[in-house]
């Protein structure tokens, strides 16, 4: 008998929602905070483009689109996976991982999706709004193909971030005290926020290379935005899709090894 993952997922969604309802104030303040953050970023963009016509080839409207895309990617990740990845080291430390391991369902699935952070989703419409506004400003028609590729790349980006963070988090089986998942996420977000081209001119492009091919966080917001408002680079698109699949697969392998180790080493 297979566990019915769809039904489990629906129950995760419901329980998280019920939990959210018990902290009503929390939701409103969170949304307010996110909107405040967007306002600040918009002011920053205004400041930037008051001084320069473009940032490494990105015009103000294109930059706005990049920002919207970045919000989409990060808020989807934060809503579904961030809290769960963050919780893993806690589960290991307290021994509550045992409860997850005895359940008759895939452990990685249970670990990755149990808690949904709904307030983070408030940024999805804001991000979409920014993208839409920017497209209007650019005044360029987008094809259905472009939009579906954009959606696919958003999924791939979230998958890449998930695989990296989850892999890092499950390693807490080996190293209980470590620089937290929250730090790694903070660094990933700060690196991916701006146009990737700014790294091209630094240290002979070494950093750019590292952030594209070694710790591939640079393309997560840039590439979907590129496809919509700048150039379509087929090789990069193919590369990112492959990276997403490979990294997710690797995360399942690392999870498997980590849990086996946990079960032979813990008392």
Partner 1 sequence: MAAISVRQLKKVYKVHQKGQGLTGSIKSLFRRQYKHVQAVDGVSFEVEEGEMVGFLGPNGAGKTTTLKILSGLIYPTEGEVQVLGFIPSRRDNAYRRQFALLMGQKNQLWWDLPAVESFRLHKEIYSIEDAKFERVQGELTELLDVRDLLHQPVRELSLGERMKMELIAALLHSPSILFLDEPTIGLDVVAQTSIRKCLREYNERRKVTILLTSHYMQDIESLCERVLVINDGKLIHDGLLADILDRLAGYKVLTLRFQNGRMPEELTQRADVVEVRPPQVTLRLPKSTAAKEASRLLARYDISDLSVEDPPIEEVIAQMFRARDGMAESVVRTRDLS
Partner 2 sequence: MKKYWVVFRIALSERLVYRADFFISTFLRFIPIITTILLWKAIFDGSGKAQVGGLAYSQMVSYYLLVMVVRAFGSMPRLATGISTDIRDGELRKYLLQPIDYLTYLVTLRIAHKLVYIVMAAGPYSIVFWLCRDYMPGWPSGVNAVLSVVTLVLALCLGFGINALIGLMGFWFLEVASFIHVFMTAQYFLSGHMFPLGLLPDGVQQWVLLLPFAYETYYPTMIMLQRLETGEALRVIAVQFVWVCVLFVAGRVAWNRGLRRYAAFGG
186 binds, among partner 2, partner 1, none (CB under 5 to 8 A by kind): partner 2
Q: Which stretch binds partner 2 (CB under 8 A): 130-138, 156-164, 196-204, 259-267?
A: 196-204
Q: How far apart are CA 77 and CA 81, in angstroms?
A: 5
- Tokens 């997560």 map to which residue? 220
- Strand partners of residue 58: 55
Q: How far apart are CA 88 and CA 77, in angstroms?
A: 16
Is residue 174 near partner 2 by the rule CB under 8 A?
Answer: no
- Tokens 């499950």 map to which residue? 170
Interface with partner 1 in residues 99-158 (CB under 8 A): 99, 101-105, 110
Q: How far apart are CA 64 and CA 228, in angstroms?
A: 12
Is residue 54 near partner 2 by the rule CB under 8 A?
Answer: yes
Is residue 3 near partner 1 by the rule CB under 8 A?
Answer: yes
Is residue 25 near partner 2 by the rule CB under 8 A?
Answer: yes
- Closer residue to partner 2, CB minimum distance, 112 or 157: 157
Q: How far apart are CA 236 and CA 249, in angstroms?
A: 20
Is residue 40 near partner 2 by the rule CB under 8 A?
Answer: yes
* From candidates 2, 22, 53, 214, binder to partner 2 by CB under 8 A: 53
- Closer residue to partner 1, CB minimum distance, 8 or 41: 8
Residue pair 196/208 in contact by the 8 Å Cβ criterion: yes
Q: How far apart are CA 109 and CA 104, in angstroms?
A: 11
Binding site for partner 1 (CB under 8 A): 1-4, 7-8, 10-12, 14-15, 18-19, 22-23, 94-96, 98-99, 101-105, 110, 260, 263-267
């Amino acid at each position: 008998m297979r566990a019915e993952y769809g039904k489990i997922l629906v129950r995760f969604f419901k329980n998280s929602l019920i939990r959210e309802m018990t902290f009503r104030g929390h939701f409103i303040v969170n949304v307010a905070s996110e909107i405040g953050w967007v306002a600040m970023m918009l002011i920053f963009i205004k400041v930037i483009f008051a001084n320069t016509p473009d940032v490494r080839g990105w015009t103000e409207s294109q930059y706005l689109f990049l920002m919207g895309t970045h919000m989409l990617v990060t808020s989807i990740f934060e809503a579904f996976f961030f809290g769960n990845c963050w919780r893993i080291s806690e589960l290991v430390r307290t021994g509550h991982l045992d409860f997850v391991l005895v359940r008759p369902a895939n452990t990685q699935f249970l670990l990755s999706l149990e808690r949904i952070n709904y307030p983070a989703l408030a940024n999805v419409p804001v991000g979409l709004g920014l993208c839409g506004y920017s497209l209007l400003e650019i005044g360029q028609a987008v094809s259905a193909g472009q939009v579906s590729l954009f959606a696919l790349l958003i999924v791939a980006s979230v998958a890449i971030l998930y695989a990296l963070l989850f892999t890092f988090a499950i390693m807490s089986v080996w190293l209980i005290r470590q620089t937290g998942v929250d730090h790694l996420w903070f660094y990933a977000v700060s690196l991916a926020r701006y146009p990737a081209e700014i790294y091209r001119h630094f240290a002979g492009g070494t950093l750019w290379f590292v952030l594209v091919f070694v710790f591939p966080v640079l393309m997560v917001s840039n590439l979907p935005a590129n496809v919509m408002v700048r150039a379509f680079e087929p090789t990069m698109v193919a590369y990112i899709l492959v990276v997403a699949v490979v990294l997710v697969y690797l995360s399942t392998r690392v999870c498997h090894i980590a849990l086996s180790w946990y079960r032979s080493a813990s008392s």
